[in-house]
Structure 1
Amino acid sequence: MQPKPPYKLYIIDFFSKIPWIIVGAFTAAISLEVILIPNGLIDGGITGISMMLSEILGLSLSSLLLLLNIPFVLLGYIHLGKRFAFSTMLGIIALTLSTGFLEVFPPFLFGSSILLVFIGAILLGLGIGIVLRNGGALDGTDVLAILISRKTSYSVGESIFIINIFIFILAFLMFGLMGAIVSIITYFIATIVVDIVRT
């Protein structure tokens, strides 16, 4: 039996990653819509900005996620290639559709327990990590973090956390000190999970 040509192996590898990108996006959407948003917690990056704008302006989170991430998809296309840009766009669209789908259902998990924070953080980190591991991203800051990690000694997870410091300052202004602190802890846990899953 003759070995498959390289381009066929490339196509098979590429399409085998698409379901995982969708799974990762849906996992992150569950964290956002079921745990973080209903409990006044905020994500980092473009997702966090979208969450705050959604709260302030009353606009759909799913629509904001798509619109605000488009420039970063273009940045990924320029610096990281067409495959990465396509995978990232797929991840963002999957996240947008997933959050739009979950927005329809009333939230059912409430509270400020440490367990809830851990579950939300682990699901978020798991979702982001799965998508990154399979060649895409779910957020514009993930694209920036990948570029930073290639130029510095920081990991992708550490880069994501550093980029998002200012997001949590805004979270402090919007949600108060306790909400900001819990959001930081949640996202810090998520970034650790991102690095574990990605590697």
Structure 2
Amino acid sequence: MKQFMIKNGLVVAGGAIQGLGMGLFLFPHFIPSGGAGGIAVLLNYWFNMDMGIGLWIVNFSMLLLAVTYLGKRVTLWTIIGITVTSISIQLFEQIHIPNRNIFYDLVFGSVLLGTGIGLLMRQGVSNGGVGVIALIIASGKNISPGQPLFWINCCIFLITAVIIDWKIILLALTSQWISTRIIDLICQVTFHQSYTLGWRKKP
């Protein structure tokens, strides 16, 4: 029970921290936080859909893969994580910071994003969206999830840049570089949790 409560607290914290980075710092500049974030930005651009809701829809659509390849427990934890993230985004989007600086927002948002995702993946829980695919690849190839996550997101960023604005891809790639470094640092330690996947990072 103690282990379960610790895991639950870390998953909720990871989702909330991820939502803080997105909603307060990245999304106000339309900087995609990742593949799912990039799709959410496109949905907002095309249909004026709230990005928290859009992100939840994209994440939920990937849960079939999570059930098939990662198991029901991981899928349940992923639902909890993405729900907390979406709620956090909606809450933090309501906060307006005067005289914003895009450079500071980019750095702070990316560090928080990487910390949140890292906490989730450190528990063997996907952050939703293309994070499901990244976790599947990582568990199969014994590598850190930050690497496949980076390359998958880059492809989605390219599409977003073509449709909305090319400068977005520069901001998004910078954000991804910072956040994936944080993810890899958090996931660096070899681990195994009874409720999660376990993998060993290649030396």
1:74 is aligned with what amino acid?
L
Residue 20 (1) aligns with residue 10 (2): yes
- Report what 1:79 is aligned to: 69
TM-score normalised by L of structure 2: 0.84
- Report what 1:169 is aligned to: 158
- Report what 2:197 is aligned to: none
Residue 95 (1) aligns with residue 85 (2): yes
- Report what 1:141 is aligned to: 130
Superposed CA deviations along residues 35-83 of structure 1, whole A, max 9, x for unmatched, are 1111232221112211221132111112222222223222212211222
- Report what 1:189 is aligned to: 178
- Report what 1:152 is aligned to: 141
2:162 is aligned with what amino acid?
L
Give structure 2 stretches of 5+ with no counterpart: 189-203
Aligned residues with identical type, % of pairs: 24
**Counterpart selection for 2:167 from 136, 159, 178:** 178
Query: Relative to 1, partners in 2 of residues 1:53 and 1:109: Cα closer, same or farther, differing over 3 Å?
Result: farther
Count of equivalent residues: 188
1:182 is aligned with what amino acid?
L
Q: How far apart are the structure 2 equivalents of 1:14 and 1:82?
A: 16
Question: 1:107 Cα shift?
Answer: 4.2
Residue 53 (1) aligns with residue 46 (2): no
- Report what 1:5 is aligned to: none
Question: 1:174 Cα shift?
Answer: 3.9
8 Å contact kept, 1:46–1:140: yes
Query: Relative to 1, partners in 2 of residues 1:18 and 1:170: Cα closer, same or farther, differing over 3 Å?
Result: same
8 Å contact kept, 1:39–1:111: no
Structure with max Cα Rg: 1
- Higher percent of residues as helix: 1
Q: CA RMSD in A?
A: 1.9
Query: Relative to 1, partners in 2 of residues 1:50 and 1:160: Cα closer, same or farther, differing over 3 Å?
Result: same
